[in-house]
Chains A and B, each alone.
Chain A
Amino acid sequence: MKAKIIITPKKAVLDPQGKAVQNALEHMGYRGIKSVHVGKFLEIEFDGDDAEAARKSLSEACRKFLSNPVIEDFKLEME
Chain B
Amino acid sequence: MNFAILQFPASNCDQDSVHAVRALGHSARLLWHKETSLGDANAVIIPGGFSYGDYLRTGAIARFSPVMHAVQGFAANGGLVLGICNGFQILCEAGLLPGALIRNRDLQFHCEHVFLKTDNFETAFSAKIPRDKILKIPIAHGEGCYYADKETLERLGDRRQVLWQYCDARGNLTETANPNGSLLNIAGICNERGNIAGLMPHPERASESILGSDDGKWIFQSIIAALP
Residues of A within 8 A of B (CB): 9, 12-14, 16-17, 20, 65-66, 68, 70-71
Closest 8 A/B residue pairs (Cβ): A70-B100, A71-B100, A16-B107, A16-B105, A68-B100, A68-B57, A13-B147, A20-B107
Report B-chain residues with C-beta under 8 Å of the C-beta of A9.
Answer: 102
Instruction: Check A65/B102 contact, CB under 8 A, given A14-B147, A70-B148.
Output: no
Cα distance, A68 to B99, chains bound together (Å): 10
Instruction: Check A65/B100 contact, CB under 8 A, given A16-B106, A20-B107.
Output: no
Determine whether the beta carbon of B60 is less than 8 Å from that of A68: yes
Report B-chain residues with C-beta under 8 Å of the C-beta of A13.
Answer: 102, 147
Report A-chain residues with C-beta under 8 Å of the C-beta of B158.
Answer: none
The chain A residue sitting closest to B57, CB to CB, is A68
Interface residues of B in 75-117 (CB under 8 A from A): 92-93, 98-100, 102-107
Residue tally, chain B, CB below 8 Å to A: 20
Cβ contacts B161-186/A at 8 Å (1 or 0 each): 00000000000000000000100000
Instruction: Assess whether B40 is interfacial by the CB under 8 Å rule.
Output: no
Determine whether the beta carbon of B56 is less than 8 Å from that of A71: no
Determine whether the beta carbon of B99 is less than 8 Å from that of A70: yes
- Residue in A12, A16, A68 whose CB lies within 8 Å of B103: A16
- Cβ of A62 to closest chain B Cβ, rounded Å: 12
Instruction: Assess whether B149 is interfacial by the CB under 8 Å rule.
Output: yes
Report A-chain residues with C-beta under 8 Å of the C-beta of B100.
Answer: 68, 70-71
Cα distance, A68 to B148, chains bound together (Å): 12
Report A-chain residues with C-beta under 8 Å of the C-beta of B106.
Answer: 16
Determine whether the beta carbon of B103 is less than 8 Å from that of A65: no
Cα distance, A12 to B183, chains bound together (Å): 12
User: 10 additional contacts, CB 8 Å, given A16-B104, A71-B147?
Assistant: A13-B102, A14-B102, A14-B147, A16-B103, A16-B107, A16-B181, A70-B98, A70-B99, A70-B148, A71-B100
